[in-house]
Amino acid sequence: MRIALVDPSLFTLPYDQAMAAGLVALDHDVTLYGRRLNDDETEAETVRLVPHFYQFSESRVAASLPRPVQLGLKGIDHIVSMRALLRRLRREDPDIIHFQWLPLPLVDRHLLAGFRRIAPLVLTVHDTNPFNGAPASGVQSAGMGRCFPLFNRLIVHTQQGLARLKAQGIDPARLKLVPHGSLERHPAALAEDPFVGEVTILLFGRIKPYKGLDVLIEAFAQLPAPLQMQARMRVVGKPFMDLKPLLERVRILGLQDRFTLEPRFVPDEAVAALFKPGTIVVFPYREIEASGVLSLALAHGRPVIATALGSFAETLRDGVEGLLVPPDDAPALAAALARMLSDRPLAARCAVEARTLAQTIPSWEEIGRETTAVYRDALGLA
C-alpha cells in the first residue's frame, strides 16, 4: 500500500518514525508529511519525511516576531498547508491517509471530506482527552469530537481509550486497539541492580503541566528527612511550561540540594545513560493514554512509580514492576516513594520484573501488521 502519514507539527516524531518503519518492513510505501526537523531531531533512514507544513511561520523571519503574532501566523499557515496537502495528495493518490494529529480541528474538520474522497482516513487518537487537558491547548482541542465521525477508522492504544471513545458515541466497529511499541533504539545487556547507595528518582520527557512535576516536588517534601537524604530528584526534558514557580517551590521547601533540573532535549544516543542503576522512574501524571517513556523505563529494567491511568494501569502490576498511585495525590506518591526507598529488595525485584515485562511489548513490525489490518478493514478488504 501507499500510505500518507500526516503529523503536521511532528508532535510524536519518534512514534511516527518507528511505526512507519514497521510498515516499511512489510513492503508498504510510507511518506510522512510534517514540518522541517529541528536541529536536535534526526531523520529516520527508512522513512521519507516531506517538510510540507509551516514553511513560513517557522522561518527565521517569523521567529523574530512577537509570540502572539507568531501563533496567528501559524494558524493561517496551517490552513494554507492543509489545503496544499489536499491538492498534493489528489495528485499522489495514496491508498490510505493516516493522520497522527489534528492540530487545529475546528479548521481541519472542514477539509477531511476532501481527503476522504482521495482515500480512506485513519486517525490515531493518542490522547482521548485532547492534549491531556493542557490549559494552553483550548484552541487546538476545540471541535476534536466532531472530527472523529469523519474518519473510517480510529486507532487507540489502551482499553481506557476504547471506553472513552465509546462513551462519546463512536461506533465500536470503527475503533481499533493497536498497542504502543517500545521507543528504545539502543538496547543493551542489563546487569542485576542491587539498589545500594543513593537512589535517583527520575522524571524524564517533555515537561508539561499534566505530567505532575509539582506533585512530585510536594511528595518528595513529605518524605521523612532520612529518606530524603537517600535520594535525589532528577528532572530531564525540554520544558513546555514556566518552570519558575516550581523552582521557587523547591527553594521554599528547602529541597535545592536534593533536586536537579536539566531543561534540555536528550538525543537518542544519550537516553540510556539516564536509566542507570539505582534509578526509579516516576510518572506522576494527571492524565495519560500511552507513554513512550514507560517503554524506555521497562526496556532499561527500571522500577516504576506511576499513576493508575491509561497504559500505566493496563501495563504495570502494582507491587510487581513498580507501584501505582492515584493521580494528583502527593501523599500517596510520597508513601510509594517511601516504600521503594526503604525496601531496596522490592526495588531490585521490580527492576527484574520490568525487564521481563519489556520482552512482551510488541515489535514495530508486529504493530505494522496490526496497523495494516486496520487499513485493510478501512478499505473493505478484511
Residues 12 and 180 sit within 8 Å (Cβ to Cβ): no
Residues 235, 147 share a domain: no
Q: What is the CATH number of the domain that holds 325?
A: 3.40.50.2000
Angle at the Cα of 111 from the Cα atoms of 109 and 114, rounded to 5 degrees: 130
How far is 321 from 318, CA to CA, in rounded Å? Answer: 7
Taking CA atoms, 4 is separated from 7, 22, 97, 366, in Å, by: 10, 14, 5, 20
Compute how many other C-beta atoms are within 10 angstroms of the C-beta atom of residue 117.
9
Residues 271, 135 share a domain: no
Confidence check: pLDDT of 137 > 60: no
Joined grid coordinates for residue 30: 510510507
At residue 40, what is the residue type?
Answer: D
Residues 232, 100 share a domain: no
Joined grid coordinates for residue 71: 501563533
Each residue of 187-203: pLDDT tens digit?
565 667 888 899 999 99
Q: What pLDDT, on a 0 to 100 scale, did the predictor assign at position 61? A: 63
Residues 225, 373 share a domain: no
How far is 275 from 306, CA to CA, in rounded Å? Answer: 16
Each residue of 149-159: pLDDT tens digit?
999 999 999 99
Q: Which domain holds residue 147?
A: 2-181+362-379
**Secondary-structure percent of the chain, ordered helix, strand, coil, rounded to 5:** 45, 15, 35
How far is 128 from 136, CA to CA, in rounded Å? Answer: 17
Compute how many other C-beta atoms are within 10 angstroms of the C-beta atom of residue 350.
28
Q: How many domains does the chain have?
A: 2
Average pLDDT over residues 60-69: 70
Q: What pLDDT, on a 0 to 100 scale, did the predictor assign at position 72? A: 78
234 CB contacts (<8 Å, ≥6 apart)?
Answer: 200, 201, 202, 203, 260, 262, 274
Residues 247, 129 share a domain: no
Q: What pLDDT, on a 0 to 100 scale, did the predictor assign at position 63? A: 67
Each residue of 317-362: pLDDT tens digit?
999 999 999 999 999 999 999 999 999 999 999 999 999 999 999 9
In a domain, residue 156? The reply is yes
In a domain, residue 161? The reply is yes
In a domain, residue 187? The reply is no
Dihedral angle of Cα 265, 270, 272, 278, to the nearest 10 degrees: -80
In a domain, residue 102? The reply is yes
Joined grid coordinates for residue 109: 474538520
Q: What is the pTM of this model?
A: 0.89
Q: At what angle do helices 67-92 and 105-116 cross, to 10 degrees?
A: 10
Give percent of the chain with pLDDT exceeding 70: 93
The DSSP call for residue 363 is: P
Residues 135, 204 share a domain: no
Confidence check: pLDDT of 185 > 70: no
Residues 104, 238 share a domain: no
Joined grid coordinates for residue 67: 509570540
Residues 216, 69 share a domain: no
The edge-to-edge listing of strands for the beta sheet with 231-236 is: 259-262, 231-236, 199-204, 279-283, 304-307, 322-325
68 CB contacts (<8 Å, ≥6 apart)?
Answer: none
Residues 91, 160 share a domain: yes
Confidence tier at 212 by pLDDT (50, 70, 90): very high
How far is 158 from 375, CA to CA, in rounded Å? Answer: 19
Average pLDDT over residues 296-316: 94
Q: What pLDDT, on a 0 to 100 scale, did the predictor assign at position 220? A: 98
In a domain, residue 194? The reply is no
Compute how many other C-beta atoms are within 10 angstroms of the C-beta atom of residue 31.
18
Residues 368, 354 share a domain: no
Residues 344, 261 share a domain: yes
Gyration radius (Cα) of the chain, Å: 21
In a domain, residue 189? The reply is no
The DSSP call for residue 182 is: -
Residues 288, 167 share a domain: no
